[in-house]
Chain A
């Protein structure tokens, strides 16, 4: 006997009464996209549960992918059988037999969604438990801390038996909370910020500033790889690559040295805000955490933030560096971020950046230069790509070699 279904329990979205249908639909779309390689799956979403029929697809492979989808509290591999006591007993026994090792303990937790079923939950527990106990060896009952919890859900048309549970990614389905722009540098923090904002249901578009020849192809590839990694959690992401060389050179030439960093960040934010307007997003996400570096003091944030009234979301604001690193490792972006290529922030870093810049001053310095048209030019020549990228012919060639 093989697992034939997966039963998905929703996360917080169970609470959102009025918008539930919208949320469930979004989740269904996301799940389908995540599992698109498994062609034989069938999907059925109800208001309180979501079933996937496996039709022979490998359940562990599907489970591995499913664990990445936001908006899922938990899910279980399930065996489907007829809602008849004999069939239920046999199927439950089979399910346990597949799983248990000598010395394991179990309990049965039956639930009747169909209250017309002739046995009560307690009677079901007893009947099924007895059947399992008689037909196995070295397996005992423990109702408090069993190694195997045999959950039985009796519904009108079918009964589901589940012994194997998986924890889901939690959060809300990506896209259910709207759209925001993620400023991504290539460092450790911004991908984590992107991940966390997707976890709360945001669809993101990423913005990266590229300054050739000061930064090279590998640095750009690093960002592409980071965003591609994020797509594994939240589906397709548009990455905007902004040509930033000219602005950086202009700042370098025209702004007082200890203010170049502040001014650079302000320009980045202004450009991101322009791109935001074009994409109908309502917020900007950054990987800033309070007090980590000169640009992230409260004074700096104030001076930089001054260029826009768009909400800036900083999911990492309260996290310590090592917490961020742990999370980056967990979502598999740490190794990519750790590649040693320069990004546009590190190249032009002044030796003594102002930790307490004043908005008034930086505005005055900037007023001597026509940044407006430079920004317009940068926005217009921004290249947008959708990730994950369709494989280039070179990459296809590589894959064929493997």
Chain B
């Protein structure tokens, strides 16, 4: 079995699963209870929070445990929009965001009367600092930009935008860091970020866990109403086992990817080179400024789904565009935004690596891919 869909989700570490089990058994108390069982649960939650904060390089009070990326992005964007609606109703984002951002924007436009500027990207999938600055209006309250694009891996100039935004201290800056965490370094403070989303299952922790970084004093209305957990930003009895599992996963993954990132990068470069040498393949991932673990390419004329299933027969698992959108339709939003023709956008395949992949895996993948394409082209008379 060769799993190459790590941007969709990763296989949890066995240590993470063991931690989840043990915390559930031994520390089942409600962290809000005032007796000893509750105090212990709270103590463990605090430890988990401190660990996450120290790895992300932020303060513990700024770490809010969530259920994952969708909740994090929704909380950040709607939370700021609702908190600042009296100050302004204009938001800036890009045309290549994940649905949990873009659909949130759409909802704010359609249901709540906000106006959203979708700043386009260039042919390589990068947004420019100037374009973002030019989109700023008097009543702009929020800018939301992803760090690493989930489909093609383009790394956006998050720090540069953050520096530029120093001139606009009233604008809140949200970054979707879901694909970048552990793999592409991001200094939250020096990038001037106010809100930052990460999700546990992208770094070998568990689904249903995530963290939203909320910088001190950031105006935010919670999505849910209830108890005063998580600094009153995320009510509901804490998922202690989930939070501890996330902290553990983050610690191990940070170390693993630090150790292996060079090798992953080399594998990526090898893969891109080889793909460029194959007939009829267009590589969509930019050569420079792209994440080490994502390679996106198209085989125009061949429907992506067909190729995915064909590879699956050889127990190789890759994906069409992003998993979140791939059930709906297989035209890549990011590729269209990059100005690629429809034929290219419809036939995009994403390979996403983990620290476990070896060069030999990719060589094997390439050989199967080549055979599959030849076979399909024959069938389709191309």
Contacts and interface: CB of A to CB of B under 8 A. Distances in A.
Most buried by B among A335, A395, A401: A401
Contacts of B281: none
Nearest to A216: B34
A352 interface: no
A258 B52 CA distance: 48
Interface string A4-44: 00000000000000000000000000000000000000000
B34 A402 contact: no
Contacts of A401: 19, 22-23, 44, 244, 248
Given A398-B44, A402-B47, A217 B244 contact: no
B248 A402 contact: yes
B263 interface: no
B48 interface: yes
A402 B48 contact: yes
Interface string A270-286: 00000000000000000
A308 interface: no
Contacts of A335: 60-61
B2 interface: no
Contacts of B247: 402
B373 interface: no
Interface string B191-213: 00000000000000000000000
Most buried by A among B26, B44, B48, B248: B44
B214 to A, nearest CB: 15
Interface in A365-402: 394-395, 397-399, 401-402
B39 A398 contact: no
Contacts of B47: 398-399, 402
B288 to A, nearest CB: 19
Nearest to A399: B47
Q: Interface of chain A, helix or strand or loop or mixed?
A: helix
A130 interface: no
A152 B256 CA distance: 39
Given A399-B47, A402-B48, A394 B248 contact: no
A394 B51 CA distance: 17
Contacts of B244: 401-402
B326 interface: no
A217 B42 CA distance: 13
A321 interface: no
A218 B34 contact: yes
Given A335-B61, A401-B44, A217 B39 contact: yes
A221 B251 contact: no
Contacts of A397: 26
Interface size, A (range): 10 to 19
B96 to A, nearest CB: 29
Contacts of A221: 39, 43
B40 interface: yes
Interface string A158-183: 00000000000000000000000000
Nearest to B48: A402
B254 to A, nearest CB: 13
B36 interface: yes
A395 B40 CA distance: 9
A314 to B, nearest CB: 29
A221 B39 CA distance: 10
Most buried by A among B22, B43, B247: B43
Nearest to B216: A329
A397 B27 CA distance: 11
A217 B39 CA distance: 9
B36 A217 contact: yes
A63 to B, nearest CB: 15
B51 A402 contact: yes
A394 B40 contact: yes
A402 B23 CA distance: 10
A335 B63 CA distance: 14
Given A335-B61, A399-B47, A218 B248 contact: no
A402 B36 contact: no
Interface in A119-136: none
Nearest to A394: B40
Contacts of B43: 221, 395, 398
A218 B34 CA distance: 8
Interface string B270-281: 000000000000
A399 B43 CA distance: 11
Interface in B1-57: 19, 22-23, 26-27, 34, 36, 39-40, 43-44, 47-48, 51
Nearest to B245: A401
A402 B27 CA distance: 13
Nearest to A395: B43
Nearest to A338: B61
B32 to A, nearest CB: 12
Contacts of B34: 216, 218
Interface of A: 216-218, 221, 335, 394-395, 397-399, 401-402
22 contacts: A217-B39, A218-B39, A221-B39, A221-B43, A335-B61, A395-B43, A397-B26, A398-B27, A398-B43, A398-B44, A398-B47, A399-B47, A401-B19, A401-B23, A401-B44, A401-B244, A402-B19, A402-B48, A402-B51, A402-B244, A402-B247, A402-B248
Given A335-B60, A402-B48, 4 more contacts: A217-B39, A218-B39, A221-B39, A402-B251
